[in-house]
Amino acid sequence: MNPMIKQLIRKDWQINRNIMAIYIGVMLIANVMLLADPNNIVFGMGLILILTILFIMCIHLTTSNVISEYSQKTVTFIMSLPVSARQYAIAKLAANLSMFCVPWLMALVSSWLIILSSDSLPNGLTALATLGLVEILLSYCLIMMMGIVTESQHGAIGAMAIANLGFQAFLWGMLKIPAIAQHRDSNELAWNSTELSILAIQLVVIIGLLGTTLLIQQRKTNFI
Amino acid sequence: MNSHAVELHNVGKDYKYFRLNDISLNLPTGSITGFIGVNGAGKSTTIRILLGLVHQDRGSVQVLGQSMPDQQVLAKREIGYVSEDMRLYPKANLAWHMQFIQAIYPNWDQAYAEQLLKRFDLRAEQKIKGLSHGQRVKATLLLALAHRPKLLVLDEPTTGLDPVARQEVLAALMEVLADEQRTILFSSHNTLDVEQISDHVAFIDQGSIIESTSKEDLLDLWRRLRVRITPGQSVSELPHIVQQQGNGQLQSFITNRYSPALHQTYEQAGLEIQAIEYLTLEEIFVASIQARREGKTL
Amino acid sequence: MSIHSDLIISRTDGRPMYLQIIEQIKQRIALGDWPAGSEIPSIRQLAIDLRISVITVKRAYFELEHEGIIVIQHGKGSFVATNTQLSRQVWEDELNSYLEQVARLAALLGLSNEQLIQRLHAAASHKQELL
């Protein structure tokens, strides 16, 4: 990797290290709560906590690490360094994605472990949990893209509204698909073709969002 | 070695309410150029273009031999930039910023950085959030100076500084020029600072460069003449008069081409020249802007 | 031995900075503070010390060199010229230029030569009293 991009990613992690420690810590606690019996209220609270952390991170990482660079004018400082607009955009995407993905991966891995190790949860639930988490990741990419591209709070908030509605619709729609509903209740671990194609679509959309962000940033002619 | 650190040739940029009118500007290597204009005249736009932060619509920009904005990464390795609208990370301290910059520029000079820290009366452990405006400017300048750039670009560096901080900043800038390969461009609407330390002066107004010359030539060629004229005599025919005041027998002119020959021309035209005065850079700047806005060609 | 610059540039002095430098250097040479043949600050060094532009100091030095008061040796530095007659000549030139101005102002005020001489006498004796 280009050393300048590496420096910028490291810089973003250092600047946000306190808040990241909090996110990771709370995510750990939430994961521990999932060790409770699925019928216990603690389990439900842990689940809600995980989703809450991820939703908060969606908007907070975008405001604190993308939009604040513009509103606090640190972007002028960064762009005065030997860095191109393209490198800056790549570094910003990579930093924000990596910061989001640490707690997100924790949630993903622990959801699998909990489901597979629990007798009362059908193993088929892993597919739905994974698709739901990937959908949250997709929402984050959309919000982040809008933040980077519009450089404004309004852009990110608009994207969040869309992402929020999209996520609700996604969950509702998923349960309407018979292949997914049936798999959810079975103990079958292997994914069916419907689930695999949904995952493929999600990944294509995520890559598309990231690529579009880079493309738009590269074509900008004013950086401050 | 190129004799010009910066070469702008017919550089233009169109905004909705502002237009940079195909400007040309050269900065000789080893010199310090003062870039003067009122707010909104185009100083910052020009500076951002020469750093590649804004892409020009037309014209060519060469900075330290690199063409901008395409080669901006190479050029910016040798550029130090400080601008009034630039901020450091509020939650981090100056020491963190120094480490960050040090990791980026191989030329970083830690001893010099620490010397500047002392001279600027800054504390490395203090968070940027808690710094005053003057301290923030000095901190940013420290970061730009200590990697020993070949070109230092400063957008309004002394604006809003107290007199002590201003002199500290000007002294630090002058020391940069002890090395003859280093060049400084600084914009200001404080003409006193420019008059004091700059070798060259460029005036910008309404998106056009209206003067770009050696400061000494400028101060030499612009004079105010106090004259006595015979009643009824018209002076509008006389050459190189930028501004005229008074309408009785005693009048004063400002000329931008003063020379013994012009002095003679005026005397031969029947003017009795009573006094010849030098102008400050500020007076020259204001007079040239007014003359241009009145449609006179200088 | 090099001489530490101790010149002072005044912002309220109406004259351009290069003229102030010329005058102060001439004074130091005339008084012997900067002896003939001694090295004086380089152009860049003086500019940095005074925090004024290189081009301004360069201009002052070139004029001083033109008048034969200093010698600029490229790559070696600048020196006070060894011609010992110069210090007096400097003041003679300065006096002449003031006298020309006096004559011009006298003409402006319509003073006769006798009146002018009288005023000069008065000024000279006033100066004596002050001493």
- pLDDT for residue C1: 35
Mean pLDDT of chain B: 90
For A93, the token pair is: 């995407």
What DSSP state is assigned to residue B130? G
Average pLDDT over residues C33-48: 87
Q: Is the pLDDT of residue C4 over 70?
A: no
In a domain, A224, yes or no: no
DSSP C64-128: HHHTTSEEEETTTEEEE-S-TTHHHHHHHHHHHHHHHHHHHHHHHHT--HHHHHHHHHHHHHHHH
Q: Distances in Å between the alpha carbon of A176 and those of A172, A173, A184, B175, B242?
A: 7, 5, 12, 74, 82
Average pLDDT over residues B172-182: 85
Decide: residue A26, CB within 10 A, 0-12 exposed, 13-18 middle, 19+ buried: middle
Query: Is B223-278 a CATH 3.30.70 domain?
Result: yes
Average pLDDT over residues C43-60: 88
Min Cα separation C108/chain B (Å): 8
In a domain, A29, yes or no: yes
Residues of B in contact with A81 (CB under 8 A): 76, 101, 104
Bigger pLDDT: C65 or B296?
A: C65
- CATH number for the domain that contains residue C49: 1.10.10.10
- pLDDT for residue B201: 94
Q: Do residues C24 and C69 both lie within one domain? A: yes
Mean pLDDT of chain A: 91
Cα A18 versus chain centre, distance: 19
pLDDT in tens, A186-204: 888 888 888 899 999 999 9
Give the separation between CA A86 and CA A165, rounded to whole angstroms.
31
Confidence of residue A180 (pLDDT cuts 50, 70, 90): confident
CB contact under 8 A, C48 and B198: no
CATH number of B4-217: 3.40.50.300
Which residue segment(s) compose the domain that C38 sits in? 17-80
Average pLDDT over residues B169-191: 87
B44 phi/psi in degrees, rounded to 5 = -65, -40
Residue A136: closest CA among A162, A106, A104, A93: A104
CB contact under 8 A, A7 and B53: no
| Contact between B291 and B242 (Cβ < 8 Å) | yes
Q: Is the pLDDT of residue A16 over 80?
A: yes
pLDDT in tens, B212-270: 999 989 998 999 998 888 877 777 778 888 888 887 788 888 999 998 888 888 888 88
User: pTM for this one?
Assistant: 0.83
Q: Which residue has the tokens 């999209």?
A: A166
- Name which of B85, B89, B103 is nearest A7 (Cβ-Cβ): B103
Q: Do residues C36 and C74 both lie within one domain? A: yes
CB contact under 8 A, C11 and B167: no
Per the structure, the count of domains in chain C is: 2
Confidence of residue A88 (pLDDT cuts 50, 70, 90): very high
Q: Do residues C76 and C91 both lie within one domain? A: no
Taking the CA atoms of B112, B115, B120 and B123 in sequence, report the sign of the dihedral they define. Answer: positive
User: Mapping DSSP to helix (H, G, I), strand (E, B) and coil, where does residue A13 land?
Assistant: helix
| Contact between B142 and B120 (Cβ < 8 Å) | yes
Min Cα separation C51/chain B (Å): 6
| A4–chain B Cβ distance below 8 A for any pair | yes
Q: Is the pLDDT of residue A179 over 90?
A: no
Choose from B179, B196, B227 for mutation: most chain C CBs within 10 A: B196
The residue of chain C with its CA nearest to that of B180 is: C44
Per the structure, the count of domains in chain A is: 1
- pLDDT for residue B2: 63
Residue C48: closest CA among B162, B212, B180: B180
- pLDDT for residue A77: 94
Query: Domain locations in chain B?
Result: 4-217, 223-278
Q: Do residues C29 and C76 both lie within one domain? A: yes
- Name which of C14, C44, C55 is nearest B216 (Cβ-Cβ): C55
- pLDDT for residue C85: 62
- pLDDT for residue A144: 92
Confidence of residue A136 (pLDDT cuts 50, 70, 90): very high
Confidence of residue C130 (pLDDT cuts 50, 70, 90): low
Which residue segment(s) compose the domain that A156 sits in? 3-219
Give the separation between CA B221 and CA B256, rounded to whole angstroms.
5
